[in-house]
């Protein structure tokens, strides 16, 4: 076996921050210390070495929409973004509502060998919101997170039943919070900007009502729930209160929601169309406070690749969603840390690694402390390196990044997955 050694970096994990070299052999960390030697050296000078990142929310499009992304291209984008595990959303075609499909997704991830691809399962068959999916079978097949993402579960009684069936299985239900009757035909956030542009608005309350309803269902049942891609100030307040009440709720925010406002739609460019929509500066400020005080547990990308020709449709017909995997870390560092910092690097790493690892049910393998004996899933990133986003340079099969031309700070240098360097010097090795 080749002994890999990461030298000269600053280690950040849940036990603290310190200088150290890390040696890896046969998939595990075998030594942490100073002047550690090995057969193959990864230089980490000027870099942070952290537990591998875990993305709770990616759309890999396979099966069904391979023209936009495949599990292999999405896994490569994930590795380049520093992720060693990603939760694959179930809005594939066919949907991930049966064991055959989740097994296929996991197997394609295994074949790509760039990160762990963790299939989520649907809450309802076909994400149609009518019949519960076979939670027991899916849980037995290794599914931990269940969601109808892309759709919220509209029927409160069905959601209550879902929570009750989830209880003995120890699985987590993750809600896409959207009351559909309030968002019919909506294209962007309902506010001054949408009135000026003459576009149908998506009110904040469409999200907040479902956050509120589901918090009350968690209070009733005591069963944990995760809130996907929160985007409004009031949603953050509701989750903060629920946590203060001791309820088992967790939440995530996507980089685009804490970096871009609805004003971006002023040019009617569909690259800025996303669900839930880009909101206002007030909402961005609230998300940042929520991330900093731990109300929002995780940064999750909602990586949503779409083929160019579909995004070129008129705004009302273009699909919602934007790329996220390769820019998430840099957006977090650029927008959440620095002078007048809302978050320290340690907090950012927590929101990208061990906190989402726990929610995804993979805390035995990802987001582990950097110590001898632990699985070697690690991210090495330079928090000061500036780079420009060039869509053609991204590994994703799609190009729908809203950050084209933006200069960001923070870049992944190496990613080690299962003991293998899958990214070296910011390039994928496979």
26 Cβ neighbours under 8 A, 6+ residues apart? 1, 419
CA distance 178 to 207: 5
- The pairs formed by 30-37 with CB atoms below 8 angstroms and a separation of 24 or more are 30/3, 30/372, 30/373, 31/372, 32/370, 32/371, 32/372, 36/5, 36/7, 37/3, 37/5
Asked if 91 is part of the footprint of ligand DOR (rule: CB under 6 A), the reply reads: yes
Q: Within its chain, how far is the Cα of 196 from the centroid?
A: 32
Asked if 150 is part of the footprint of ligand DOR (rule: CB under 6 A), the reply reads: yes
Of the pair 300, 370, the CB lying nearest ligand DOR is at: 300
Which of 175, 232, 235, 275 touches ligand DOR by CB under 6 A?
275
CA distance 237 to 243: 10
Query: Is the Cα torsion angle 175, 177, 179, 180 positive or negative in sign?
Result: negative
Q: Output the CA–CA distances (angstroms, integers) from residue 392 to 325, 366, 428, in the order listed.
A: 15, 30, 15
Length of the chain: 430
CB of 289 to ligand DOR, least distance (A): 23
Of the pair 91, 270, the CB lying nearest ligand DOR is at: 91
Say how many residues touch ligand DOR, by CB under 6 A: 12
CB of 321 to ligand DOR, least distance (A): 3
Of the pair 91, 334, the CB lying nearest ligand DOR is at: 91
Asked if 303 is part of the footprint of ligand DOR (rule: CB under 6 A), the reply reads: no
Specify whether the CB–CB gap between 385 and 410 falls below 8 A. yes
Among 36-44, 77-85, 317-325, 351-359, the segment contacting ligand DOR (CB under 6 A): 317-325
Task: Look up 25 and say whether it is catalytic.
Answer: no
CB of 111 to ligand DOR, least distance (A): 23
Three-state DSSP class for 351?
helix
Residue 257 in tokens: 């929601």
Give me the 324-343 binding string for ligand DOR, x by CB under 6 A, dash otherwise: --------------------
Which of 114, 115, 193, 274 touches ligand DOR by CB under 6 A?
274
Q: What is the footprint of ligand DOR within residues 398-417 (CB under 6 A)?
A: none
Among 160-168, 200-208, 284-292, 318-326, the segment contacting ligand DOR (CB under 6 A): 318-326
Among 37-45, 313-321, 357-365, 376-384, the segment contacting ligand DOR (CB under 6 A): 313-321
CB of 261 to ligand DOR, least distance (A): 16
Asked if 321 is part of the footprint of ligand DOR (rule: CB under 6 A), the reply reads: yes
Asked if 149 is part of the footprint of ligand DOR (rule: CB under 6 A), the reply reads: yes
Shortest CA distance to 213 belongs to which of 235, 243, 246, 184? Answer: 235
Asked if 119 is part of the footprint of ligand DOR (rule: CB under 6 A), the reply reads: no
The single residue of 13, 116, 214, 302 carrying the catalytic annotation is 302
CB of 62 to ligand DOR, least distance (A): 13
Of the pair 302, 418, the CB lying nearest ligand DOR is at: 302
Cross-strand bridge partners of residue 88 = 58, 119
Of the pair 174, 378, the CB lying nearest ligand DOR is at: 174
Q: What is the footprint of ligand DOR within residues 59-88 (CB under 6 A)?
A: 59
Asked if 277 is part of the footprint of ligand DOR (rule: CB under 6 A), the reply reads: no
* Peptide linkage before 276 cis (omega within 30 of 0): yes
Q: What is the footprint of ligand DOR within residues 161-200 (CB under 6 A)?
A: 176
Asked if 300 is part of the footprint of ligand DOR (rule: CB under 6 A), the reply reads: no
42 Cβ neighbours under 8 A, 6+ residues apart? 4, 5, 6, 7, 380, 413, 414, 416, 421, 424
Query: Is the Cα torsion angle 424, 427, 428, 429 positive or negative in sign?
Result: negative
222 secondary structure, DSSP code: -
Of the pair 347, 400, the CB lying nearest ligand DOR is at: 400
Write out the H or E segment, with its range, that includes residue 44. none
Asked if 319 is part of the footprint of ligand DOR (rule: CB under 6 A), the reply reads: yes
Of the pair 89, 239, the CB lying nearest ligand DOR is at: 89
Which of 105, 304, 416, 421 touches ligand DOR by CB under 6 A?
304
CA distance 79 to 422: 7
Shortest CA distance to 147 belongs to which of 168, 169, 119? Answer: 119
Specify whether the CB–CB gap between 413 and 70 falls below 8 A. no
Number of residue whose CB is nearest ligand DOR: 321
Q: Output the CA–CA distances (angstroms, integers) from residue 26 to 128, 244, 373, 376, in the order listed.
A: 44, 43, 11, 9
Chain positions contacting ligand DOR, by CB under 6 A:
59, 91, 149-150, 176, 274-275, 302, 304, 319-321
Instruction: Tell me the catalytic residues.
Output: 302
């Amino acid at each position: 076996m080749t002994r890999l050694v990461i030298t000269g970096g600053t280690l950040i994990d849940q036990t603290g921050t310190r200088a150290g070299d890390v040696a890896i052999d046969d998939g595990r960390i075998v030594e942490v210390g100073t002047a550690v030697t090995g057969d193959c050296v990864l230089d980490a000078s000027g870099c942070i070495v952290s537990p591998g990142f875990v993305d709770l929310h990616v759309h890999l499009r396979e099966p069904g929409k391979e023209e936009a992304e495949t599990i292999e291209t999405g896994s490569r984008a994930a590795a380049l973004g520093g992720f060693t595990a990603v939760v694959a959303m179930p809005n594939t075609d066919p949907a991930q509502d049966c064991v055959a499909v989740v097994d296929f997704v996991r197997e394609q991830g295994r074949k790509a060998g760039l990160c762990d691809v963790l299939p989520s399962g649907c809450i309802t068959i076909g994400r149609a919101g009518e019949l519960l999916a076979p939670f027991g079978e899916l849980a037995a097949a290794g599914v931990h997170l269940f969601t109808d993402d892309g759709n919220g579960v509209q029927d409160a009684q069905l959601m209550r039943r879902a929570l009750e069936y989830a209880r003995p299985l120890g699985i987590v239900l993750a809600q896409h919070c959207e009351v559909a009757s309030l968002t019919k035909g909506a294209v962007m956030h309902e506010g001054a900007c949408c009135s000026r542009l003459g576009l149908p608005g998506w009110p904040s309350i469409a999200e907040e009502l479902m956050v509120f309803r589901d918090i009350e269902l968690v209070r009733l049942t005591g069963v944990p729930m995760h809130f996907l891609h929160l985007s409004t100030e009031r949603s953050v307040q509701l989750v903060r209160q629920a946590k203060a009440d001791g309820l088992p709720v967790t939440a995530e925010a996507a980089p685009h929601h804490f970096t871009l406002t609805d004003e971006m739609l002023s040019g009617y460019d569909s690259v800025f169309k996303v669900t839930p929509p880009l909101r206002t500066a007030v909402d961005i400020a609230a998300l940042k406070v929520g991330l900093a005080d731990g109300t929002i547990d995780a940064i999750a990308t909602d990586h949503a690749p779409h083929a160019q020709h579909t995004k070129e449709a008129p705004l009302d017909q273009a699909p919602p969603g934007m790329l996220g995997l390769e820019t998430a870390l840099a957006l977090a560092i650029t927008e959440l840390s620095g002078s007048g910092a809302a978050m320290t690097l340690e907090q950012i790493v927590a929101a990208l690694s061990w906190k989402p690892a726990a929610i995804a049910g993979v805390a035995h393998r990802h987001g582990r402390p950097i110590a001898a004996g632990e699985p070697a899933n690690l991210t090495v990133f330079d928090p000061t390196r500036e780079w420009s986003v060039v869509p053609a340079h991204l590994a994703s099969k799609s190009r729908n990044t809203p950050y084209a031309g933006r200069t960001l700070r923070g870049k992944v240098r190496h990613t080690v997955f299962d003991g293998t360097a899958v990214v070296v010097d910011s390039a994928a090795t496979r």
